[in-house]
Structure 1
Amino acid sequence: MIKCMLISPTDKTLFGGRELIEQWQKDEQSTLWIDLDNVELEEEKQLLTNFNCHPLAISDAQRERHPPKIELFKDYIFMLYRGIVANDDGLRFGHLQISMFIGKRLLITRHPQSSLAINELFNQSSEKYLKRSPIHMALRLFHCSCGYYLKELFTFEAELEKIEDKFQLSGNDRMMKQITSHRSQLVKIRRTFNYHVSMGDTLKAFVDDDDTDLITDKEIHTVNDLRERLDRLLSLSQMYYDICGDLINGYMSVTSHQLNATMRVLTVITALFVPLTFLAGIYGMNFEHIPELKAENGYFILLFVMAVISVVLLIVFKKKRWL
């Protein structure tokens, strides 16, 4: 589906389809936002080519999976980032690749599925962003997508605190598996946020070095605000990753301590019964001339010796704090 928003300084904002493109071409004072939502690849490629988009940028945008990036061309900026299409419990985000071609009077967004951020901003209340400039609208879209990430991370933070409290009281293998799963998801999320932070740094460099007139000085605050949000996402994902790692290490330490305590008890039991088994084995042999074999109280004497050995060993283990 192709959706268009046309901003004109003289007329009211118009929403429609392809028909607004021709109207935009006739009015050099107007600004156009074209949203390509799950459009056929050939039709999409033809439209982007008509707007002089670079073939390599079109190829990157249409790839099923591509690392987030930002590139500066002669007449526009190409941005590709990962938004959210849906999410599940446990930080299992449904990532959505969103591409943006940003010119002086034109913004083209491309995505294979419905985007939460674009659906939120493609309306009458957001026309002020596009009226200011296409790059401002694009930065707002990126900022809005980051907001969905933040919302889910804050929800996860509350869940992680509950897991942490339960884990300290009664950690088990099921909880260990759950935390390991969260940690694995955080690795993937952190990788995405690393790419996004690099994009924020590149945008800041474009402003500082005056590499393009598409990003003016009045967008410095917007770029800095976006960079702060991107940095926050990365730091939060890193912090949660570290917490999960600490919980796993703590569980492994407790489990190891419990295993050592169990092995210590078993070692003490074994040490107690080794001399007793030795004595029982000797007097259980079927030889005729074993000393004390026919002693009248030999059985009770042997039991007494065994008891003394056991008590002495227990005292020794107690002094060594093995018990």
Structure 2
Amino acid sequence: IMGSNYSPIALNIFIQDNVLVTYHHQTLESLNKVVYKYMNTLDAELDCADVVILILDMMVDKYFNFVYALEDSVYHFEDRHVDDRFNKMVMDSVFKLRSDLIKVKRVLFPMQELIDTMKQNGDLIIDNKHSLYIQHIDDHLIKQRNIIRTAQEMTNEIRENFESYTSFRMNSIMQVLTLVSVIFSPLTFIAGIYGMNFVNMPALHLHYGYYICLAVMFVIAVVLIIFFRRKKWF
């Protein structure tokens, strides 16, 4: 894994007799550590199996940096206030985080398959020392996968909470708009009747007809609001 965008890097290893060849497109820090720390010792007891296991061990240990960073990011979102967590910018970050979790997961699974193959095949396991090292790597991979799985579940919960919050907020807005339209429906009806161009209409020529009409409309609106409040519709 390379960089903050969690880009995977392919590492090919070829072993024949006592010769080991690695092929990769970019510099791998884990591989360089093995070269500088172990290859320069000229240890006669160091064989290809030892080198491969050391490379895998250092690579898997380096995965913890990315796994723990993603875990901290997930807990950061969980600790945020609800109002802050449910804005669009934060949710975009959550979706980006879910994408990064998937990228790391796609790296862990092939590595897990490789370790499982090594445990079952036994070509590289010459003695108990190799078996213990491989089991050590396997334990680290299991721990990392569990962390990623938990982080994915937490991001799914954040997404579901966001969808529930958005749905609840939309329903609340629609409820208010519906009540407003219901309140204005009788008022619009009265205004529509007295807006017709008939000459002979009741109370059309009253001196205080306009104010009486406004008062009636106001009373209707207040009565509807009180009715809705008693029904606890808002």
Tell whether 2:83 aligns with 1:173. no
Amino acid at match of 2:94: I
Give the Cα–Cα distance (whole angstroms) in 2 for the partners of residues 260 and 118 of structure 1: 56
Amino acid at match of 1:151: N
Give the Cα–Cα distance (whole angstroms) in 1 for the partners of residues 104 and 28 of structure 2: 18
Tell whether 2:167 aligns with 1:253. no
SS at match of 1:112: coil
Give the Cα–Cα distance (whole angstroms) in 2 for the partners of residues 121 and 183 of structure 1: 32
Amino acid at match of 1:155: A
The one of 27, 48, 54 aligned to 1:140: 54
The 1:129/1:229 distance shift into structure 2, 3 A limit, reads farther
Tell whether 2:68 aligns with 1:154. yes
Q: Deviations over 1:140-199 (max 9, x none)?
A: 211111111111221232233223323524131111111111111222221222222122
Give the Cα–Cα distance (whole angstroms) in 2 for the partners of residues 301 and 206 of structure 1: 95
SS at match of 1:94: coil
Match in the other structure for 2:10: 97
The one of 175, 189, 197 aligned to 1:286: 197
Amino acid at match of 1:304: A
Match in the other structure for 2:140: 229
Shifted more, 162-171 versus 114-123: the winner is 162-171
Say if 1:130 and 1:136, in contact at 8 Å, map to a contact too: no
Give the Cα–Cα distance (whole angstroms) in 2 for the partners of residues 187 and 158 of structure 1: 16
Quick check: which one's helix share is greater? 2
Match in the other structure for 1:16: none
The one of 23, 41, 45 aligned to 1:110: 23
Give the Cα–Cα distance (whole angstroms) in 1 for the partners of residues 228 and 80 of structure 2: 35
Q: Deviations over 1:253-288 (max 9, x none)?
A: 212212221221111111111101110110121101
Amino acid at match of 1:269: V
* Runs of 5+ unmatched residues, structure 2: none
Match in the other structure for 1:87: 3
Say if 2:30 and 2:55, in contact at 8 Å, map to a contact too: yes
Match in the other structure for 2:32: 119
Give the Cα–Cα distance (whole angstroms) in 2 for the partners of residues 129 and 187 of structure 1: 40
Q: Deviations over 1:104-132 (max 9, x none)?
A: 53322222221110111112456588834
The 1:268/1:145 distance shift into structure 2, 3 A limit, reads same
Q: Deviations over 1:53-106 (max 9, x none)?
A: xxxxxxxxxxxxxxxxxxxxxxxxxxxxxxx3x312xxx123221111234533
The number of aligned residues is: 231
The 1:131/1:108 distance shift into structure 2, 3 A limit, reads farther
Which fold has the larger relative contact order, with Cα–Cα distance below 8 Å and residues 6 or more apart in sequence? 2
Give the Cα–Cα distance (whole angstroms) in 1 for the partners of residues 199 and 53 of structure 2: 100
Give the Cα–Cα distance (whole angstroms) in 1 for the partners of residues 126 and 232 of structure 2: 73
Amino acid at match of 2:147: L
Amino acid at match of 1:138: V
Match in the other structure for 2:182: 271
Amino acid at match of 2:151: Y
Amino acid at match of 2:188: T
Match in the other structure for 2:125: 215
Quick check: which one's strand share is greater? 1
SS at match of 1:119: helix
Q: Percent of counterpart pairs with the same letter?
A: 28
The structural deviation recorded for 1:320 is 2.4
Match in the other structure for 1:204: 119
Say if 1:100 and 1:110, in contact at 8 Å, map to a contact too: yes
The structural deviation recorded for 1:206 is 1.8
* Runs of 5+ unmatched residues, structure 1: 1-83
The structural deviation recorded for 1:296 is 4.3
The 1:129/1:197 distance shift into structure 2, 3 A limit, reads farther
